[in-house]
Structure 1
Amino acid sequence: MPISPSSAAQAARENVAQRLRELRADAGITGSELADLCGWTHSKSSRIENARTPPSANDIRLWCRACGADGQAPDIIAQSRNAESMYVEWRRKVRAGLKQLQDSYVPLFKTTKVFRVYSSTLVPGLLQTEGYATGLMSLITAFREIPDDVAQAVAARLERSKILHESGHRFVLLVEETALHHQIGDADAMAAQLGYLLTAGALPAVSLGVIPATGQRGIWPMETFHMYDDTLVSVELLSARVTLTQPSEIAMYLKAFEELRSMAVYGASARALIVKAIEALN
């Protein structure tokens, strides 16, 4: 079962806290004594040790110095920074608008050879048409109350999606059938989007699978996630994007993806479900 992204981020924070706690124990000093040596309150030491407050780089340096372990500070600081970077608040990423967020993915896209995308609620971004993307980004902009650069963001997304036609990349895309029935934008925009999906699966580098809404499942629907080769997983939550790089976590998402992939239908069977969604618009 895939680890909850927020739990994975918290686990990384707890690993940092555990290292600091062990340093203090090995030094034979109490939390109160460490607080006195660092010049802060005992409650701060407790919050850091219990992973309730992430330590700053300076906090870690003072902690290691108090424990006679200055040499360990650089490694723990790096570990702490990695833990905090796992959980990136969407508000920080999109505060300047959505175009910047779209552009931030370009270097990763260029270097990725195999894209694996599972989407439970929306058409995957790589396959979104202009009207659909405009409807979606307009909703996001209004909900998050961020600067309106929808037109520029949509243009950036469409430009980024041209990678579907570049050599050296392969795309394995899975979408839940229910996502085909969530109307984004007006009916015309939704019809155009579904119409595009009828041909997108025929692109040479694309494998498009639709997971039927009926029938017994081998694994439950889960949060949307993107896998970039076998080195990085990006999981989308309402409040954050979580980036996972630990091999064990990547392996777990790969296992889940393969389970989901085995449940999907392809070719004519997938097109039949898309046509069903188009007919439901009328």
Structure 2
Amino acid sequence: MPISPSSSAQAARQAVAGRLRDLRKGAGLTVTELASACGWHHAKTSRIENARTAPSAKDVAAWCRACGADDQSADLVAQSLNAESMYREWRHQVRAGMRQLQDSWVQFYRDTGLFRVYSSTLIPGLLQTEGYAAGLLTSIAAFRDLPVNDGAEAAAARVQRSRVVHEPGHRFLFLMEEAALGYQMGDHEAMAAQLGYLLTAGALPAVSLGIIPASSRTRGQWPHETFHIYDDTLVSVELLSAEVNITQPSEIALYLRAFEELRSMAVYGADARALIVRAIGALR
């Protein structure tokens, strides 16, 4: 059975839970005694130790204090917060609107030197035109019961955010499956404009645009979920329900390996442009 990308987040939670359980046992406390010292019901202790409930910073501090391990509190709080940031449900991220979600990435993008992006179903966000992005984000807003105009506003913010592609000091390696060229977002004109922009964007000095042909006979890698790799330090994986942020070096290495293998199957330059032109022709 395939392992869900969210498994790394759960593993991180379990690691925190394990450390807390070890502290309790090392202090010679029972579950009930620990709960009494912390001022909560013993069931909460069990939920935390079994990674069913994420402890707050105050919970961790109280736990460490009860175990005589105040010196470990700060480290455990940081570890716990990192575990909870790895798996972020979209419904929580878009509470303030999809536009704010787009804006929240601007500074992070400016601080990133190397972007590696793989997409099997869509034009990568940093290469999306406003019309294409509006079609996509409006559909997402409707699916998530957000205000109707939120998708259009988010699209404008996404295009503004994408200007980082034209700023010095960054490199962009984009990989797409050919099928992504054929999935229409927005109306006919928006899709034609999007494909036309790809012809221009692929020629930008800082951009490498690779397209994996659908006709590839032998694939070392099957189509994967969309993922972004930022400076070898963070992998962001997009799921229907959530965004998974991966910081574990061994897992990042796995995505880097997959990216390089996918990259070796892609075509570039004139061959990539020919696939885009063919997709434009199929719109007529």
The verdict on a shared fold, with TM-score over 0.5 as the criterion, is: yes
Aligned to 1:179: 180
Aligned to 1:243: 245
Unaligned runs of 5+ in 1: none
TM-score by length of structure 1 reads: 0.93
Contact 1:96/1:146 (<8 A) preserved: no
In the TM superposition, what is the alpha-carbon distance from 1:237 to its structure 2 partner?
1.4
In the TM superposition, what is the alpha-carbon distance from 1:8 to its structure 2 partner?
0.9
Contact 2:176/2:212 (<8 A) preserved: yes
Aligned to 1:153: 154
* CA displacement 1:2-56 (0-9 Å, x = unmatched): 9743111111101100101111121223223323333333322221111111112
**Partner amino acid, structure 2, of 1:62:** A
Between 97-106 and 238-247, report the one with greater CA deviation. Answer: 238-247
* CA displacement 1:148-176 (0-9 Å, x = unmatched): 33333222222222222222211110011
In the TM superposition, what is the alpha-carbon distance from 1:275 to its structure 2 partner?
2.4
Q: Secondary structure at the match of 2:68?
A: coil
Between 256-265 and 88-97, report the one with greater CA deviation. Answer: 88-97
**Partner amino acid, structure 1, of 2:100:** Q
Contact 1:112/1:228 (<8 A) preserved: yes
* CA displacement 1:107-135 (0-9 Å, x = unmatched): 11111121111111100111111211110
Aligned to 2:196: 195
Contact 1:120/1:224 (<8 A) preserved: yes
Q: Percent identity?
A: 71
Aligned to 1:66: 66
User: In structure 2, what is the Cα distance between the partners aligned to 1:38 and 1:204?
Assistant: 58
**Partner amino acid, structure 2, of 1:152:** E
Q: Secondary structure at the match of 2:208?
A: strand
Alignment of 1:43-62 (within 5 A): 43-62=43-62
Contact 2:138/2:152 (<8 A) preserved: no
User: In structure 2, what is the Cα distance between the partners aligned to 1:95 and 1:57?
Assistant: 23
Aligned to 1:80: 80
User: In structure 1, what is the Cα distance between the partners aligned to 2:58 and 2:161?
Assistant: 40
Q: Secondary structure at the match of 1:5?
A: coil
Aligned to 2:118: 118
Match 2:233 to one of 215, 231, 234: 231
User: In structure 1, what is the Cα distance between the partners aligned to 2:32 and 2:166?
Assistant: 62
TM-score by length of structure 2 reads: 0.92
User: In structure 2, what is the Cα distance between the partners aligned to 1:59 and 1:71?
Assistant: 15
* CA displacement 1:82-131 (0-9 Å, x = unmatched): 11111222122212222111111111111112111111110011111121
Give the count of matched residue pairs: 281
Aligned to 1:109: 109
Between 257-266 and 189-198, report the one with greater CA deviation. Answer: 189-198
User: In structure 2, what is the Cα distance between the partners aligned to 1:39 and 1:21?
Assistant: 17
Q: Following superposition, which runs of at least 4 residues in structure 1 exceed 4 angstroms of deviation?
A: none
Match 1:277 to one of 265, 270, 279: 279
User: In structure 2, what is the Cα distance between the partners aligned to 1:98 and 1:34?
Assistant: 42
In the TM superposition, what is the alpha-carbon distance from 1:226 to its structure 2 partner?
1.2
User: In structure 2, what is the Cα distance between the partners aligned to 1:43 and 1:159?
Assistant: 49
Change (3 A) 1:162 1:61: closer
User: In structure 1, what is the Cα distance between the partners aligned to 2:279 and 2:66?
Assistant: 64
**Partner amino acid, structure 2, of 1:21:** R
User: In structure 1, what is the Cα distance between the partners aligned to 2:178 and 2:223?
Assistant: 11
Contact 1:123/1:175 (<8 A) preserved: yes
* CA displacement 1:187-210 (0-9 Å, x = unmatched): 221122112212321111111001
Aligned to 2:89: 89
In the TM superposition, what is the alpha-carbon distance from 1:75 to its structure 2 partner?
1.6
Q: Secondary structure at the match of 1:233?
A: strand
Unaligned runs of 5+ in 2: none
Between 70-79 and 135-144, report the one with greater CA deviation. Answer: 70-79
User: In structure 2, what is the Cα distance between the partners aligned to 1:177 and 1:253?
Assistant: 20
User: In structure 2, what is the Cα distance between the partners aligned to 1:43 and 1:194?
Assistant: 56
User: In structure 2, what is the Cα distance between the partners aligned to 1:192 and 1:123?
Assistant: 12
Between 136-145 and 71-80, report the one with greater CA deviation. Answer: 71-80
